[in-house]
Amino acid sequence: MRYMTAGESHGKGITAILDGMPANLYVDKDEINRELKRRMLGYGRGGRMKIESDEVEIVSGIRGGFTTGAPITLFIKNRDYENWSNIIGADATELGKKTVTKVRPGHADLSGCIKYAQSDARNILERASARETAARVAVGAVCKILLKELGIIIGSHVVEICGVKSGYRYSSVEEIIEKSDESDVRCIDATAAEKMRAAIDIAVKNGDTAGGVVEVVAAGMPVGIGSHTAYDRKLDYIVSGHMMSVQSVKCVEIGLGRGYAERYGSEVHDEIFIKDGAVFRETNNAGGIEGGISNGEDIVVRCTLKPIPTLMKGLRSIDLITREPVKAEPERSDYCATPAGGVVLEAALAFALASAITDTLGGDHIDELKARAEQKRTAENGSR
């Protein structure tokens, strides 16, 4: 399975092509739209979100609701393109408008202009924008539908915003899914949520921004996805790249993650038990991956998102043309994207897992894949 995305923040729209989906999977478009809507919510969003009532257009690969095995094209229109077409479009003539030369620290603006020999950072930021995550969410939504058929569900919740930590420890992914979206900061610990909102309020007041940490969890994975045999077939290799590539993410933790550095081995490794023939663990510090292979426990990944680097108060920077010190351009942006970031990271994990599963199991159509996943789920160690 593979996918590519394309499209600019103020261009016609965002396109994704997703290749390798098994045939005969029923894809409910409303499910994709529901995920796109989830991506737009959250406390501390800027003006952009108000104009982004995204809806997916399925351009190919699905007929009468079912996949055919052909590549799926997902298109999400940018609603304000009409105002931008002559500035940003392929045939645009007003390239001198909306130029960005006061490059924003923390973004690709400056490095991008150097790499690609540009003098207008608009040519960089339009693509670097987190607007691209709309495509990733749409792709992830289709992957979630596939995973659900295989008995795998994914949820996320916010565990930290600007230093405020959630006290919630999850007991089941169902619970996460049920409860996190009830909170506008997507934090299940109500008291912490209150403080998070307060921290965001301060950011809003000061023209500042706030980052945070999201925990993403997948339940129902069969044992044996990924492999210990080659560094780039390890499930954690695959997962970490997809998560780290989401805009703003600067830290990826599997399971206990950073916490592994603080305790002795005997305190953190997940011991293995057996009862009535059933193998189980009582803890899951490994986050469902041992030796690069899924072990059947929940996949647990925590990602830290930096505060969005576009500040209304303006960071000190330079102007590309005048080479003078300036305040960086304040493009319209959010104050805190962490709650919505969780939705994007669910999508990133969904693709990573769906892709790793089909790499391991193949599967031309959904019945075939379901049967193989079931076999894998019930497999015991071999007799050789």
* Residue (of 121, 10, 345, 377) closest to 225 by Cα position: 377
The only residue of 55, 190, 191, 291 in contact with a second copy, by rule CB under 8 A: 291
b/e per residue, 22-55, with b = 16+ CB within 10 A? Answer: bbebebeeebbbebbbbbbebbbbbebbeebebe
* Residue (of 134, 145, 156) closest to 53 by Cα position: 134
The only residue of 140, 220, 307, 341 in contact with a second copy, by rule CB under 8 A: 307
Of 126-134, 144-152, 171-179, 183-191, the segment contacting a second copy by CB under 8 A is 126-134
Residue with Cβ nearer a second copy (194 or 367): 367
Which residues have CB under 8 Å from 55's CB, separation 6+?
Answer: 33, 36, 76, 77
**Least distance between a second copy and beta carbon 231 (Å):** 4
The only residue of 42, 44, 46, 61 in contact with a second copy, by rule CB under 8 A: 61
List the interface residues with a second copy, window 321-360 (CB under 8 A).
323-325, 328, 358-360
Establish if 380 lies at the interface with a second copy (CB under 8 A). yes
For 88, 103, 108, 127, 131, the CA distances from 118, given in Å and listed in that order, are: 15, 12, 12, 13, 21
Structure tokens at 67: 């996949």
For 22, 83, 165, 213, the CA distances from 161, given in Å and listed in that order, are: 38, 35, 7, 6
| Residue entry with tokens 């261009």 | 11
The only residue of 234, 299, 341, 345 in contact with a second copy, by rule CB under 8 A: 234
The only residue of 51, 59, 190, 198 in contact with a second copy, by rule CB under 8 A: 59
What is the C-alpha separation between 211 and 137, in angstroms, rounded?
Answer: 20
Residue with Cβ nearer a second copy (174 or 198): 198
Residues 346 and 152 sit within 8 Å (Cβ to Cβ): no
Structure tokens at 16: 């994704």
**Least distance between a second copy and beta carbon 213 (Å):** 5
What is the C-alpha separation between 167 and 3, in angstroms, rounded?
Answer: 36
Window 191-210: contact mask with a second copy (x via CB under 8 A): -----------xx--x-xxx
Residue with Cβ nearer a second copy (171 or 381): 381
Window 16-35: contact mask with a second copy (x via CB under 8 A): -x-x---xx--x-x------
Radius of gyration of the chain (CA): 22
Establish if 270 lies at the interface with a second copy (CB under 8 A). yes
The only residue of 151, 184, 201, 260 in contact with a second copy, by rule CB under 8 A: 260
The only residue of 126, 181, 189, 215 in contact with a second copy, by rule CB under 8 A: 126
The only residue of 41, 128, 177, 204 in contact with a second copy, by rule CB under 8 A: 128
Residue with Cβ nearer a second copy (91 or 174): 91
User: How many other C-beta atoms are found inside a 10 Å radius of the C-beta of residue 11?
Assistant: 20
Of 43-51, 173-181, 187-195, 292-300, the segment contacting a second copy by CB under 8 A is 292-300
The only residue of 51, 70, 190, 198 in contact with a second copy, by rule CB under 8 A: 70
3-state secondary structure of 305: strand
The torsion angles phi and psi of 327, rounded to 5 degrees, stand at -85, 140
For 71, 157, 185, the CA distances from 244, given in Å and listed in that order, are: 25, 17, 21
The only residue of 256, 340, 349, 350 in contact with a second copy, by rule CB under 8 A: 256
DSSP symbol at 261? G
Establish if 306 lies at the interface with a second copy (CB under 8 A). yes
| Residue entry with tokens 């934090």 | 187
Establish if 15 lies at the interface with a second copy (CB under 8 A). yes
The only residue of 183, 353, 363, 370 in contact with a second copy, by rule CB under 8 A: 363
Element (H, E) at 164: strand 164-165
Number of residues that bind a second copy (CB under 8 A): 167
Window 86-115: contact mask with a second copy (x via CB under 8 A): --xxxxxx-x-------x-xxxxxxxxxxx
Of 15-23, 40-48, 141-149, 190-198, the segment contacting a second copy by CB under 8 A is 15-23
